[in-house]
Every structure is written in structure tokens, then in C-alpha cells.
């Protein structure tokens, strides 16, 4: 039984629905849609895969809309043939924002919920379109008892592409209370944008030098729900770049995910802030499922395998991934240059593989453990990104800022522009390169759009390095004096 539910679609599908449902004569209209599931750890999303447009005579528009059984059967059969679920959307011509289910709509959808389940093997998804502002509302009709179906309301409907536009269900995700803590932020983009931003569930994958800065900024900006992923332990060599990390964290073998959670709670301006640390990689099944619960993800990793996994989440599961990276050119021990990039993987934009952010051959090398084998790494060319270890905190702040600017642009669309392409900044020449095209033709990720759980690839697997890091921490924590020190340390932090 699905208890937490959401709906997501590409910007193209949203445009297709808007063109069809927003009628010049102001009457109601309707359409059937096909959907596939994306299953997270606690939330299930219905990904809209196609609109089944009505044919001549398949619907009756007379003030309120009705459809013929021929239209229903054609759409349901099509869904069953493609292994999809069936959804039904109708318009409220004067509606604004989230549309709740009224009595007439309830009766109408209830009348074919059972038949939909029988024909497609999946529950009916009901959607309402608010024609005035292109908002949505949604629910899923699940069987509660023999012959009894009832709707479970969605938390949100997400439109993903150039812009991330989310219609939120205020009953399940209440509008945050206004505080003076975000006064300057709100005066920049307005209360409505802030209310939407604050309620996005944001994941940060990799809480290293860039990730920790991103977490700090998101918490200060008022985002109220963060999922923080990192299996690594704070080490002495992190201290020149890891915000908030101290020598004490090194001695206590603190893990980066919990350090990020603890410090973000101190920085948070949202009245009901929640940070959940995961000592996991997103390539591990449990990490992947937790990432699939997010609305948008920051990729602050430097390895190919997690990037490939996030690339799949961006296209197959419609979760935009804000990615970036730093390359320092320090041949011969002298700084010759540095560059950092920031871009978003989402339908309509170029994916991480097409942007050359990782080499698919190295994904396999990482999966079979070669990338954690020093011999394999030394065999790579000296200037290979996987061999380069140079980094400076100042460059991390620039890379984090570049990623955060991409996120702000996608969600608030300054001047009406949400997509400014992929960015590459060169320090030596102070130039910024743009790439504004989408994926290369034949890109497998672009081809897996909206496939969700049905994507024909297995990207997760066991990650021995992550397991070793957790095991090493568990061994040290078992030594009681250290455990006691850690407890006292945490207590002191809470009292501060």
C-alpha cells in the first residue's frame, strides 16, 4: 500500500497537457495518461510517460466533461500493453494551484478505479489541472477492501525540465510559518517562491568540501528537509577544505554525513527543519531508494559510479541532479590554472555522460573495485581526473556557489529564465563557457526518460569501500572510552 505519493512529469508532457486542457471556450476537458512507478524508500512517484489524446467523439464536452467507454478501454488496453498504469486528468478552467477532489470528481473517478486496477494491474491515478496557473492536484486509488477503492492524496506534482515547477499539497506539506530569519532572502524572490523552495526535499550526495558548503547554504536559505549522503569519515587531510570540521571530529572518527546533519541543524532558518544523515553511497540499494525520495539532488561526488547512478535518477526517475566539479592544473608543483563546472542533468538538458563528467568505462572499473586499487590508479595517465588530488578551499566555495546558482536559477527562474545551460569557468582567463544543447542523439539516459523502476539496467550493487568505512567506525566506536567521549561531545554541542 502506497502511503506517501507524488506525481512527476517532464516539461514537454506538462506543455502537451496544458495545450489540450486549457480551452479557448473556457469549458472543462479531459485526457487519459500512462504512468510508471518510481519507488523510493518511503515515497512512490507516478511518472507520466504519455498522454493518450482523445479521438473524435471519444469525449463529450458540455460544461462538465465526460468520456465514452470506448476511450477508457482504448487507453486502459494501451496501458496494459506497455506495462504502464492508467491515469485520468480533467481540468478546472478557473482553478489556481493545488486542486482538491470534490464530490462530483470523487464519484466519477471511483466509478472506474476497480476496472483500471483489473485491466492494468496498477491503481488508477487521478489528476486535476488548474487551468488558470497550470497547477495540478493528484491522488492514487488503492483497494482498501473487496470492491472498495479510496484515494490517497499526493504530496506534490512536479514538472521537471528547464524549470522545476512544483505544485504542493498544503494539507500534507503545510506552508512554512514566516519568520524574520529569512527576511532578506524572501525580499529577493518573494514569499511564494520561498514557500515552494522551502518545501522541496533536497538531497546532497557527498558531504565533502563542496557538499558541506551546499548543505550550509540550503539550511540558511530555509530548505526544511535535507537528506545527506556520505559514507566517509572525517580525516586530518580534510581539514583545509571541510567547513565546520575540527581536529576533534578527526579524533572521534566522525562520519561526514552526521557532521553535515549536525552543522546544518545549527545553521537552519526553517522552523521545522529536518536533516537525515545516510552513511551510505547512492550506489548501494538503500542509498538509491533514499535518494529516490528527493525532489532534487546535489551531486558533490568525484567518482564515476555514483555519477552514473545519479544520471539515471535524473532521466528515468525525473529527479533533477545539480552536478559540478573542480579541476586544478598544478603540473610541476606550480598552479597553472583551475576550472570548475556546474550543470543540471534533467530532461531537455545534456546529461552527465554527454557532458563528459564521467567515462562509462570507469563506472565498470569502480564497480569491480579497480578504482580502489592503487595499482590501477597509478596505471592511469598522470593528468587523469581520477589521479588528481589537488584542491583548495577557495575553489570549493566557487564550485559550490556555481552549483547553488544553477539550483536557484532552475527553481526561481530570474527574469523568467530557468535554464542557462552547463557552465565551465576558467580561473586563468576569467571566462565562462556555456553549453545549452541537450543530450547527444542516441544517449541511453535520455532514452530512459520516465521509465522509473522499469528502466532496463541495474545500477546499484555492493560497495566494499563504503562497507569498510562503516566497519572501521563501528570498531572504534565499540571501544567504550571513545564512545563516551563522543556522547559527551554531542551533548556539549546540543547545549551550546
DSSP 42: S
The site for Zn ion, by CB under 5 A, has a size of 6
- Cβ of 456: how many Cβ atoms within 10 Å? 8
CB of 445 to Zn ion, least distance (A): 5
Q: All 3 cell numbers of residue 83?
A: 506495462
- Verify binding: residue 443, Zn ion, rule CB under 5 A: yes
Decide: is 80 part of the binding site for Zn ion (CB under 5 A). Answer: no
CB 160, CB 256: distance < 8 Å: no
Backbone angles phi and psi of 124, in degrees to 5: -70, 135
Q: How far is CA 74 from the centre of its chain?
A: 33
Q: Beta strands of 77-147 (E only): which ranges? A: 85-92, 124-130, 135-145
For residue 450, the minimal CB distance to Zn ion (Å) is: 15
- The distance of closest approach from Cβ of residue 306 to Zn ion in the complex, given in angstroms and rounded to an integer, is 17
- Choose, by CB under 5 A, the member of 215, 439, 455, 459 that binds Zn ion: 439
**Separation between Cα atoms, residue 112 and residue 131, nearest integer Å:** 24
Answer for the pair 39, 47: CB distance below 8 angstroms, yes or no: no
* 105 makes contact with Zn ion (CB under 5 A): yes
Distance CA 311, CA 492 (A): 40
Any idea which residue has 520516465 for its cell? Answer: 450
Nearer to Zn ion, 28 or 196 (CB): 28
Binding mask 262-291 for Zn ion (x = CB under 5 A): ------------------------------
Q: Which is nearer to Zn ion, 254 or 362 (CB)?
A: 362
Give me 133's grid cell: 496557473
Q: Which of 51, 160, 319, 354 binds Zn ion (CB under 5 A)?
A: 354
131 is a site residue for Zn ion (CB under 5 A):
no
Nearest to 4 by CA among 335, 395, 270, 289: 289
Which residue, 105 or 195, has its beta carbon nearer to Zn ion?
Answer: 105
| 49's grid cell | 510517460
Q: Does 351 bind Zn ion (CB under 5 A)?
A: yes
* Cβ at position 383, least distance to Zn ion in Å: 25
Q: Which stretch binds Zn ion (CB under 5 A): 52-60, 220-228, 404-412, 442-450?
A: 442-450
- Min dist CB 121 to Zn ion, Å, is 27
Alpha-helical runs (H) found in 2-102: 11-21, 69-81
State the SS3 of 235-280: CHHHCCCCCCCCHHHHHCCCEHHHHHHHHHHHHCCCCCCEEEEECC
Q: Is 89 in the site for Zn ion (CB under 5 A)?
A: no
Interface region with Zn ion, contact rule CB under 5 A, candidates 13-21, 267-275, 347-355, 411-419: 347-355
Task: Establish if 29 lies at the interface with Zn ion (CB under 5 A).
Answer: no
Q: State the minimum distance, in angstroms, from the CB of residue 272 to Zn ion.
A: 32
Stretch in the footprint of Zn ion (CB under 5 A) among 104-112, 195-203, 265-273, 325-333: 104-112
Three-state DSSP state, 403: helix
Select from 103-111, 175-183, 239-247, 413-421 the region that touches Zn ion (CB under 5 A): 103-111
Which spans of this chain sit near Zn ion (rule: CB under 5 A)?
A: 105, 351, 354, 439, 443, 445
Amino acid at each position: 500500500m502506497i502511503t506517501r505519493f507524488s506525481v512527476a512529469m517532464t516539461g514537454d508532457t506538462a506543455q502537451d497537457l496544458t495545450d489540450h486542457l486549457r480551452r479557448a471556450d473556457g469549458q472543462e476537458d479531459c485526457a487519459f495518461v500512462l504512468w510508471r512507478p518510481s519507488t523510493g524508500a518511503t515515497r512512490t512517484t507516478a511518472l507520466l510517460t504519455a498522454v493518450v489524446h482523445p479521438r473524435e467523439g471519444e469525449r463529450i464536452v458540455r460544461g462538465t466533461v465526460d468520456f465514452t467507454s470506448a476511450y477508457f478501454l482504448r487507453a486502459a488496453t494501451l496501458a496494459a500493453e506497455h506495462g504502464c498504469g492508467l491515469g485520468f486528468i480533467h481540468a478546472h478552467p478557473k482553478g489556481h494551484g493545488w486542486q482538491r477532489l470534490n464530490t462530483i470528481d470523487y464519484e466519477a473517478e471511483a466509478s472506474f478505479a476497480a476496472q483500471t486496477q483489473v485491466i492494468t494491474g496498477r491503481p488508477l491515478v487521478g489528476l486535476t489541472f488548474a487551468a488558470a496557473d497550470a497547477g495540478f492536484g493528484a491522488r492514487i486509488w488503492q483497494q482498501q477492501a473487496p470492491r472498495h477503492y479510496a484515494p490517497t492524496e499526493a504530496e506534490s506534482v512536479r514538472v521537471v525540465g528547464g524549470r522545476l515547477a512544483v505544485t504542493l499539497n498544503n494539507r500534507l506539506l503545510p506552508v512554512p510559518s514566516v519568520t524574520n530569519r529569512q527576511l532578506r532572502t524572501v525580499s529577493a524572490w518573494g514569499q511564494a517562491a520561498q514557500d515552494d523552495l522551502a518545501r522541496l526535499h533536497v538531497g546532497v550526495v557527498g558531504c565533502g568540501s563542496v557538499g558541506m558548503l551546499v548543505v550550509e547554504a540550503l539550511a540558511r536559505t530555509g530548505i526544511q528537509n535535507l537528506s545527506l549522503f556520505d559514507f566517509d569519515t572525517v580525516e586530518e587531510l580534510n581539514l583545509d577544505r571541510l567547513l565546520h570540521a575540527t581536529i576533534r571530529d578527526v579524533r572521534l572518527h566522525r562520519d561526514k554525513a552526521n557532521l553535515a546533519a549536525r552543522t546544518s541543524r545549527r545553521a537552519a532558518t526553517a522552523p521545522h527543519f529536518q536533516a537525515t544523515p545516510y552513511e551510505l553511497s547512492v550506489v548501494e540499494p538503500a542509498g538509491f531508494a533514499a535518494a529516490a525520495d528527493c525532489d532534487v539532488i546535489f551531486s558533490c561526488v568525484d567518482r564515476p559510479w555514483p555519477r552514473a547512478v545519479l544520471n539515471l535518477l535524473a532521466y528515468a526517475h525525473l529527479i533533477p541532479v545539480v552536478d559540478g566539479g573542480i579541476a586544478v592544473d598544478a603540473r610541476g608543483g606550480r598552479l597553472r590554472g583551475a576550472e570548475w563546472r556546474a550543470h543540471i542533468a534533467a530532461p531537455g538538458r545534456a546529461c552527465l555522460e554527454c557532458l563528459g563528467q564521467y567515462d562509462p568505462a570507469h563506472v565498470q572499473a569502480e564497480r569491480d573495485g579497480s578504482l580502489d586499487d592503487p595499482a590501477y590508479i597509478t596505471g592511469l595517465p598522470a593528468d587523469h581526473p581520477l589521479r588528481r588530488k589537488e584542491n583548495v578551499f577557495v575553489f570549493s566555495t566557487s564550485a559550490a556557489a556555481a552549483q547553488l546558482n544553477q539550483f536557484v536559477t532552475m527553481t526561481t527562474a530570474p527574469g523568467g529564465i530557468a535554464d542557462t545551460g552547463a557552465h565551465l569557468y576558467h580561473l586563468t582567463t576569467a571566462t565562462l563557457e556555456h553549453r545549452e544543447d541537450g543530450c547527444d542523439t542516441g544517449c541511453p539516459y535520455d532514452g530512459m526518460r520516465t521509465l522509473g523502476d522499469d528502466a532496463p539496467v541495474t545500477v546499484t550493487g555492493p560497495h566494499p569501500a563504503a562497507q569498510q568505512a562503516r566497519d572501521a567506525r563501528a570498531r572504534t566506536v565499540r571501544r567504550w572510552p571513545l564512545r563516551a567521549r563522543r556522547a559527551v561531545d554531542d551533548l556539549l554541542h546540543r547545549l551550546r
